[in-house]
Amino acid sequence: MDKLLHLWEATGFYQMQPGQGIMILIGMLLLYLAIKKNFEPLLLVPIGFGGVLANIPGAGLAEAGGILHLFYVVGIESGAFPLIIFMGVGAMTDFGPLLANPKTLFLGAAAQFGIFATLMGAVLLSTFGIFDFSLADAAAIGIIGGADGPTSIYVASKLAPDLLGAIAVASYSYMALVPLIQPPIMRALTNEKDRKIRMHQQRHVSQREKIVFPLVILILVALFLPDAAPLLGMFCFGNLMKECAVVDRLSNTTQNSLINTVTIFLGLAVGSKLSAESFLNQMTLGILLLGMLAFSIGTASGVIMAKILNKITKEPINPLIGSAGVSAVPMAARVSNKLGLEADKHNFLLMHAMGPNVAGVIGSAVAAGILINYAAG
Amino acid sequence: MDKLLHLWEATGFYQMQPGQGIMILIGMLLLYLAIKKNFEPLLLVPIGFGGVLANIPGAGLAEAGGILHLFYVVGIESGAFPLIIFMGVGAMTDFGPLLANPKTLFLGAAAQFGIFATLMGAVLLSTFGIFDFSLADAAAIGIIGGADGPTSIYVASKLAPDLLGAIAVASYSYMALVPLIQPPIMRALTNEKDRKIRMHQQRHVSQREKIVFPLVILILVALFLPDAAPLLGMFCFGNLMKECAVVDRLSNTTQNSLINTVTIFLGLAVGSKLSAESFLNQMTLGILLLGMLAFSIGTASGVIMAKILNKITKEPINPLIGSAGVSAVPMAARVSNKLGLEADKHNFLLMHAMGPNVAGVIGSAVAAGILINYAAG
Amino acid sequence: MDKLLHLWEATGFYQMQPGQGIMILIGMLLLYLAIKKNFEPLLLVPIGFGGVLANIPGAGLAEAGGILHLFYVVGIESGAFPLIIFMGVGAMTDFGPLLANPKTLFLGAAAQFGIFATLMGAVLLSTFGIFDFSLADAAAIGIIGGADGPTSIYVASKLAPDLLGAIAVASYSYMALVPLIQPPIMRALTNEKDRKIRMHQQRHVSQREKIVFPLVILILVALFLPDAAPLLGMFCFGNLMKECAVVDRLSNTTQNSLINTVTIFLGLAVGSKLSAESFLNQMTLGILLLGMLAFSIGTASGVIMAKILNKITKEPINPLIGSAGVSAVPMAARVSNKLGLEADKHNFLLMHAMGPNVAGVIGSAVAAGILINYAAG
Amino acid sequence: MEKSTLMSEGLTLMVTGMGFVFVFLTVLVLVTTLMSWIITRYEKSVGALPAEGIPAPTAVLGRNQSGQSKQQSQSSQDSTLLTVLSSAVHKYRKNK
Amino acid sequence: MEKSTLMSEGLTLMVTGMGFVFVFLTVLVLVTTLMSWIITRYEKSVGALPAEGIPAPTAVLGRNQSGQSKQQSQSSQDSTLLTVLSSAVHKYRKNK
Amino acid sequence: MEKSTLMSEGLTLMVTGMGFVFVFLTVLVLVTTLMSWIITRYEKSVGALPAEGIPAPTAVLGRNQSGQSKQQSQSSQDSTLLTVLSSAVHKYRKNK
Ligand code: NA
Ligand code: NA
Ligand code: NA
């Protein structure tokens, strides 16, 4: 009888706390958005499912000894998973459009203002006592504006592990929402004439340039910002493997089974941070609001910088490609292309927008290095 | 000269103990059965080879610092390998036949009686002083009747790590022997008329049902039996990845390189538990006997439950598909099909037997949750 | 202002030490050799890149907490990576030519004299006070003569972890240089008539022989040299998986995504040992010199043994295949073939040279076992 | 543990365990039947799962489908093949 | 370790090591020759390895070959392809 | 940390951070432009990357391309296919 009682006490009905129930519903919502609405499904399916698993009452999957906690410690606390993903992303990245037009790097730089403005916003909210974010928290929230999942997770794991769940969810959700968030801002900041600007066809980029470029980045990182070395180093390594053409075996595995495997476990491990205590509080609300702000400011900064560049340089630059500087590869570039086609149905901007798009990845990794150096120091 | 002596003392000739020699022969026997007789080769080749390696005198591969011991600690003691395999099995499972005929879940439930009857048998043998099994040991032995390799290994690693080697070997060997063990029992419990029963063609199951079903299981697990959450959670996660169609990249990797890689290391790690001390004793004999009992009782319970259901429900159910409730996917279902065809050469039962077959996987994972909750608690 | 200073002090410009700069250049040189000159690119691309990353000032990637250090501890210190690679190499090895002509095992044995002669050389240099190598150091350096990357790394990680970087670099570099190092030695030790010897066509080897052979090696290892069990055990396991044909799923994954993934992380982890302190010293010079000696002596021993065998046995043996006994699969065999064709354009030695070639892998794994037993004991 | 305790523990575990398995799977039968009933009704009005379930390119992993990347490479061919195949599967199921 | 000890240790290791390599590989030559002789004799009566060496579906991993699973999916195609290929290899070897 | 300190820290971080991002990417623009200029000039004399960039078999991983190995097996076919594809890509780029 005791044992029957024990069994009853072990059920979810008996143990479930309201917070856990809500978090399970939130996990289900993420699964719905991922599967039905195609919100970054590759990450949000594992994150959502992990979130549900983490909140099963009494199962303790996200606590010490639980399998999700194990994945978290092994893969995220150590930094390994985001870095391996970044290596895979590097192996999938083509720097060709960037090399054809290196000025687009400035667009990738400008868009990072979203990160720092949001950091300042979080600091202000804390100063006015509305939230209680530390400088490290503020930096981790700001990085959502980098529009780059693995970078967000890496920075959050270093600076604010407690906020990691909310930051990752915000990061991927807003990336999925890029086609909704960006167009109004882009339209507000450009006029019809701006949007019709046609850009020159890109020059051919030789394979040798593509091989040397990741090494150039690596050297500059070594000289200027060692704190960005883990992220940019792994990124450049992946890219070099792809471009050098002598290790195609390794590059193919990196782009396929390796990144897929790590994505599954990264997602589940992030899900382990969606516990009721750390997610169901005012801070998450702040993170969601500030994250949206970060995306919007980044988009605006990119467009404004493109307009400035267009004034300065001889070669015409369509301001619509500025928004692609936030990264969110390749969706932001597609948004640029779509708005370009709306203004002039022969104005294909996709390849031109890929330049600032990958520049945005470099830019936010640089920003991540600075934040880690400054806020953790 | 000292060093020469040292070298001689390091040889296997000098160090080999009789038990080690016997275990090496047993490992070779497993390899023979796997390669020549097709006994579950995907597991028994690594387990057999691992068993040989573990017993090489003086090499210490299965002791602290040895590579097999490392695989064991990292993969099995942590629970990670069986759970990842279960995720992969989920990604390979089609719940269609089960959804077309949910009543077959009762067959999957009934067949679990093999687990609990065997547990009771082990307890009785201990009570009469024939063996010395604790309740946890008895539970770990009973789970052999679940006819599911990763579930057996997971439960054994939690409840009776010392018996893990014997339990895993028994589990996979008997699964390979399903085509020999089941038919006599099935024939004894049915008559010609029973075996000729034709079942209605299955209705079409929509993709939406297949997507929602793993989530339904997950919710019920969360509410009723959190202790089954690791196993069934990972299983449902794998299945959702497969069915939702938006993460085919991840699902394909899970079904291929990920499950293959983990299978190799799981097998080697199980092999590390085939040391002479823990395998060459009376208990192993008991495990082998009780395991056979478990399979037989499970088969019989499934068939009897199918006959009962056939009486209760309007829709005809061929009792031959009851035996598929033990799981051993897909061999048990094939055995049902084969016996159906023997009785009537137009009576194809394969798709009907797939329902109880996958129900048996769910059933034994539920039973595993109960056993871990009760016996470890 | 303090913080600005802090940022400046964090740059590579401020922190870079001369040694680190040199090591970065050396890493770049390795990348150049790998990519442009095709020096074993599958390993030297990751090693070279890892070497650059390890020397980024202030980033600490190769120090405790850094990602490369993590890869080293998890994969090399534990012994796992070299052993998994060896399993993969086993799954790619065809023992057919060796089984067709088992006498070629003697060539694989003779070529290991390069290992032991070099060990003696290192000991002599220490005795004369030119270098300061311990016996374990000398053994780890000698193994470069085994011309087998994973074996070198495995032995170095056990006997001389500090020298691992230099030993791995020497090992792979000289393997890449086999087409330059071997021909002069082979020409010097053979005359035109020797080189024109035609060998009998190889008999057909049945699949059953290929399946049993790895088990034969395993048994002999268990009886004679348990210390070689990790290396040869994993090697034979991989080979058995390939040949037994019932676990093709596992064998294919081993030969592809598994070995590729491990190769990437092994390379990066080896790169972490290319720090200025441990690489930029006189010892590295000694290692490079002795490594070259090891390859040369191994080549010469193989050729001489082939000439001796040719005298003893009835069946003609072309001495050119003796050099393939150093392993460096399959390049050493190709070198034999090339020199054979030079002497007589119809004299195809490739398949005959594959026998000693894989025998060399077994031979150096045996030698590795002896060295670990003796020098670590 | 005393022998008699072991015996009674085993008996309790057998009865509660088997009972629980049946309770759980009975509930699962009921809920599954309900689910299928709801979905079948729902699909009568909205139709079966539309093609939008097909994976679209995403911000983290889908890059090889974009831009000037090696369209000729194995990996992107695979991914195209996968998309085509899974699209075919979906259409096939829809039309059935 | 003193210099002279190091020297003598090195010498011992060289001699015993090289000796051991030869002993081991000589034994391997003998045992391998014996093995091939036995197998060749054995196969004269039973024939070379029969087609039963081909992988059959198994209880843990072989599911995708069964039931209503996506027969069109990459993975099951691969596995069918593998089976066909390895079957072909086997037949080829047998006929040779 | 006091509120005012937090504020000033945030401000400093914003300014120096954004500044640093621009400095870094400006340097990258300059160095990249320089690199492209050098390589373009260099390639005018030596031509674009020659076919020697194609992977050759190596001592650790390339074995399946050699000897009597299962030429029919999936893996070696894949690797051949990869070599052929990447060779085609190279030639295509060279001719462009
Ligand atoms: Na970005
Ligand atoms: Na079962
Ligand atoms: Na060798």
Interface predicted TM-score (ipTM): 0.88
Residue F86 is assigned to a structural domain of this protein:
yes
Nearest of B161, B116, B162, B164 to residue B297 by alpha carbon: B116
Residues of F in contact with E54 (CB under 8 A): none
Sequence-distant (6+) residues with CB within 8 A of E51 are E87, E90, E91, E94
Closest residue by Cα to residue B332 from B30, B104, B141: B104
Task: Please enumerate in sequence order all residues whose Cβ is within 8 A of that of A54, keeping only pairs 6 or more positions apart, or say none.
Answer: A23, A61, A62, A68, A271, A272, A273, A274, A275
pLDDT, tens digit, for every residue of E29-63?
999 999 999 999 998 888 776 544 444 444 444 34
> Which residues are within 8 A (CB) of A295 and not within 5 positions of it... i.e. 6 or more apart?
A114, A144, A145, A147, A174, A177, A178, A181, A182, A326
Listed residue (A252, C40, C334, C245) closest to F79, CA to CA: A252
Distance C152 CA to ligand 3 centre (A): 10
Q: Distance between CA C200 and CA D39 in Å, rounded?
A: 72
- Between residues A3 and C46, the one the model is more confident about: C46
- Flag whether residue F91 sits within 8 Å of chain A, measured between CB atoms: no
Longest dimension (CA), chain A: 85
Mean pLDDT, residues E67-87: 38
Q: What is the pLDDT of residue D54?
A: 44
DSSP three-state, residue F61: coil
pLDDT number for residue B8: 74
Among B252-266, C96-110, F78-92, the minimum mean pLDDT is found in F78-92
Q: Which of A279, A238, A325, A290 is nearest to A125 (CA)?
A: A290
Half-sphere exposure of E86 (CA within 13 A, CB side): 25
The predicted model gives B188-210 an average pLDDT of 92
List the single range of A200-204, C98-102, C288-292, F72-76 with lowest mean pLDDT: F72-76
What's the confidence (pLDDT) of residue A111?
A: 95
Q: Which residue has the higher pLDDT, B275 or E95?
A: B275
Residue range B235-284, pLDDT digits in tens: 999 999 999 999 999 999 999 999 999 999 999 999 999 988 888 988 89
Q: Would you call A100 exposed, middle or buried from its count of C-beta atoms within 10 A (0-12, 13-18, 19+)?
A: buried
- Compute, in angstroms, the gap from residue A325 CA to the centroid of ligand 1: 7
- Mean residue pLDDT of chain B comes to 92
Predicted local distance difference test score (pLDDT) of residue D5: 85
* Contacts C148 to F, Cβ<8 Å: 59
Q: List the domain range (segments joined by +) for residue E83.
A: 72-96
The region, left, alpha or beta by phi > 0 then psi within -120 to 50, assigned to residue B148 is beta
Q: How confident is the model at residue E80 (pLDDT cuts 50, 70, 90)?
A: very low
**Higher model confidence: residue C58 or residue B89?**
B89
Q: Is E61 inside any structural domain?
A: no
User: Does residue E81 form part of some domain?
Assistant: yes
In the block, tokens 């549900």 appear at: A52
φ and ψ of B189, to 5 deg: -95, 0
pLDDT at C271 over 90: yes
Task: Please tell me the distance from the alpha carbon of residue F49 to that of residue F87, in angstroms, as a whole number.
Answer: 12
Q: How far apart are CA B341 and CA D96, in angstroms?
A: 28
> What is residue E75's predicted lDDT score, i.e. its pLDDT?
39
Cβ within 8 Å, pair C7-A374: yes
The answer to the question of residue E19 being in a domain is no
Structure tokens at B73: 């600690």
Q: Nearest-5° angle of CA C208, CA C214, CA C220?
A: 125
The percentage of chain A sitting over the pLDDT mark of 90, rounded to a whole number, equals: 83
Residue D76 lies in a domain: yes
Distance separating alpha carbons of residues C117 and A23, to the nearest angstrom: 67
State the chains in contact with A (3 or more Cβ–Cβ pairs under 8 Å).
B, C, D, F
Contacts of D79 in chain E (CB under 8 A): none
Mean per-residue pLDDT of chain C: 92
Between A29 and F46, the more confident residue is A29
Interface test with F, best of A106, A210, A225, A370 (most F CBs within 10 A): A370
Confidence at residue A374, expressed as pLDDT on a 0 to 100 scale = 86
Contacts of F9 (CB under 8 A, 6+ apart): A123, A135, C3, F1
State the pLDDT at residue B3. 64
Q: Identify the nearest ligand to the CA of A178 by its number.
A: 1
Which structure tokens are listed for B93?
């499972």
Mean pLDDT for the stretch of residues B216-239: 94
Cβ atoms of residues A31 and A45 within 8 Å = yes
- For residue B177, give the nearest of C248, C241, E59, E66 by alpha carbon: E59
pLDDT band at B15 (very low <50, low <70, confident <90, very high): confident
Spatial distance between the Cα atoms of A114 and A302, rounded to a whole number of angstroms:
9
Interval between CA A294 and ligand 3 midpoint (Å):
58
- The predicted-structure confidence for C219-260, as pLDDT tens digits, reads as follows 999 998 888 999 999 999 999 999 999 999 999 999 999 999
Judged on CB neighbours under 10 Å (0-12, 13-18, 19+), B3 is middle
Q: Provide mean pLDDT across the span A81-97.
A: 96
pLDDT given at position A4: 67
Q: Average pLDDT of D38-56? A: 70
Residue F84: pLDDT above 60? no
Contact predicate A40/D58, CB 8 Å:
yes
Interchain proximity D74–F88, CB inside 8 Å: no
E53, E63, E74: residue with CB nearest B329 = E63
Tell me how far CA of residue C306 lies from CA of A31, B134, C183, C329, in angstroms: 67, 63, 15, 18
**Cβ atoms C155, C182 nearer than 8 A:** no
How far is C37 from C33, CA to CA, in rounded Å? 5
Q: What is the pLDDT, as a whole number, of residue C11?
A: 77
Map tokens 């000292």 to a residue. B2
Please tell me if residue B225 touches chain A, with a CB cutoff of 8 Å.
yes
3-state secondary structure string across chain A: CHHHHHHHHHCHHHHCCHHHHHHHHHHHHHHHHHHHCCCCHHHHHHHHHHHHHHCCCCCCCCCCCCHHHHHHHHHHHCCHHHHHHHHHHHHHCCCHHHHHCCCHHHHHHHCCHHHHHHHHHHHHHHHCCCCCCCHHHHHHHHHHHHCCHHHHHHHHHHHCHHHHHHHHHHHHHHHHCHHHHHHHHHHHHCCHHHHHCCCCCCCCCCHHHHHHHHHHHHHHHHHHCHHHHHHHHHHHHHHHHHHHCCCHHHHHHHHHHHHHHHHHHHHHHHHCCCCHHHHCCHHHHHHHHHHHHHHHHHHHHHHHHHHHHHHHCCCCCCHHHHHHHHCCCCHHHHHHHHHHHHHCCCCCCHHHHHHHHHHHHHHHHHHHHHHHHHHHC
Three-state DSSP string of B319-336: HHHHHHHHCCCCHHHHHH
Q: Please tell me what DSSP assigns to residue D62.
A: G
* Distance between CA atoms of residues D26 and D21, nearest Å: 8
pLDDT band at F54 (very low <50, low <70, confident <90, very high): very low
Phi (first) and psi of residue B37, to 5 degrees: -105, 5
Q: What is the pLDDT of residue A16?
A: 83
Inter-chain CB proximity D78 and E73 less than 8 Å: no
Q: Which of A223, A227, A258 lies at the smallest CB-CB distance from C261?
A: A258
Q: Identify the nearest ligand to the CA of B360 by its number.
A: 2
Residue C22 burial (C-beta neighbours within 10 Å; 0-12, 13-18, 19+): middle
* Statement: residue C210 has pLDDT above 50: yes
Q: Look at chain F and report how many structural domains it folds into.
A: 1
User: What percent of chain E stands above pLDDT 90?
Assistant: 32
User: Picking from D10-14, D90-94, F20-24, which range would have the lowest pLDDT averaged per residue?
Assistant: D90-94
Residue A212's φ and ψ, nearest 5 degrees, are -75, -30
pLDDT at E85: 37
Task: List the structure tokens of B370.
Answer: 């109960």
Range in A80-89, F35-44, F50-59 with the lowest mean pLDDT: F50-59
C154 near E CB under 8 A: no
Q: Does residue D42 lie within any of the structural domains? A: no
Q: Is the pLDDT of residue A317 over 80?
A: yes
Q: Rounded mean pLDDT of D24-42?
A: 95
What gap in Å lies between CA B231 and CA B366, rounded to an integer?
Answer: 9
* Alpha-carbon span A334 to A109, nearest angstrom: 19
Q: Answer with the residue of higher pLDDT: B271 or F67.
A: B271
| Cα–Cα nearest to E32, from B356, D62, C216, A211 | C216
A137: its two tokens? 């928290």
Distance CA F71, CA C347 (A): 23
Residue C261 and residue C256: Cα distance in Å, rounded? 8
Residue F16 within a domain:
no
Counting as contact any 3 or more CB pairs under 8 A, the partners of F are A, C, D, E
Question: What is the three-class DSSP state of E55?
Answer: coil
Is the minimum CB–CB distance between A116 and chain F shorter than 8 Å?
A: yes
Give the pLDDT mean for D43-52. Answer: 69
Q: What is the structure's pLDDT at E96?
A: 42
Percent of chain F with pLDDT over 90: 33
Query: Which whole number is the average pLDDT over C80-86?
Result: 96
Percent of chain C with pLDDT over 70: 98
d(CA C266, CA C89): 14
In whole angstroms, give the CA distance from residue E13 to residue E10. Answer: 5
The answer to whether B99 and B209 have CB atoms below 8 angstroms apart is yes
**Residue A116 half-sphere exposure, CB side, CA atoms within 13 Å?**
28
Mind listing the pLDDT tens digit for each residue in A247-289?
999 999 999 999 999 999 999 999 999 988 888 988 899 999 9
**Which of C271 and C12 is assigned the larger pLDDT?**
C271
What is the crossing angle of helices B207-224 and D3-46, to 10°?
150
Q: Give tens-digit pLDDT for A126-140.
A: 999 899 899 999 999
| Each residue's pLDDT tens digit, B45-88 | 999 999 999 999 988 899 998 999 999 999 999 999 999 999 99
What is the largest distance, in Å, between two alpha-carbon atoms of chain B? 85
Residue-wise pLDDT for B273-312, tens only, equals 998 888 898 889 999 999 999 999 999 999 999 999 999 9
Q: How confident is the model at residue D2 (pLDDT cuts 50, 70, 90)?
A: low
CA dist B112 and A95 (Å) reads: 57
B108 Cα: distance to centroid of ligand 2 (angstroms): 7
Closest CA to B360 of B110, B153, B144: B110
A15 confidence band (pLDDT: 50, 70, 90): confident
The reported pLDDT for the residue numbered C281 is: 87
User: Between residues F14 and F45, which one has the greater pLDDT?
Assistant: F14
DSSP state of C143: G
**Residue A197 main-chain phi, psi, to 5 deg:** -55, 130
**In the predicted structure, residue F12 carries a pLDDT above the cut 50:** yes
pLDDT tens digits, residue range B102-111?
999 999 999 9
Tell me what pLDDT residue A276 has. 87
pLDDT of residue C375: 84
Catalogue the long-range contacts made by C284-287 (C-beta closer than 8 Å, 24 or more residues apart).
Answer: C284/C166, C286/C122, C286/C125, C286/C130, C286/C131, C286/C133, C286/C141, C287/C141, C287/C144, C287/C163, C287/C166, C287/C167, C287/C170
Asked whether residue B360 carries a pLDDT value surpassing 70, the answer given is yes
Q: Is residue F96 part of a domain?
A: yes
Task: Check residue C374 and give its pLDDT.
Answer: 86
Q: Which ligand ends up closest to the CA of B366?
A: 2
Q: Is the pLDDT of residue A233 over 80?
A: yes
D64/A330 Cβ within 8 A:
no
Instruction: Quick: pLDDT tens for C146-204.
Output: 989 999 999 999 999 999 999 999 999 999 999 999 999 999 999 999 999 999 988 99
A202 pLDDT band, cuts 50/70/90, is confident
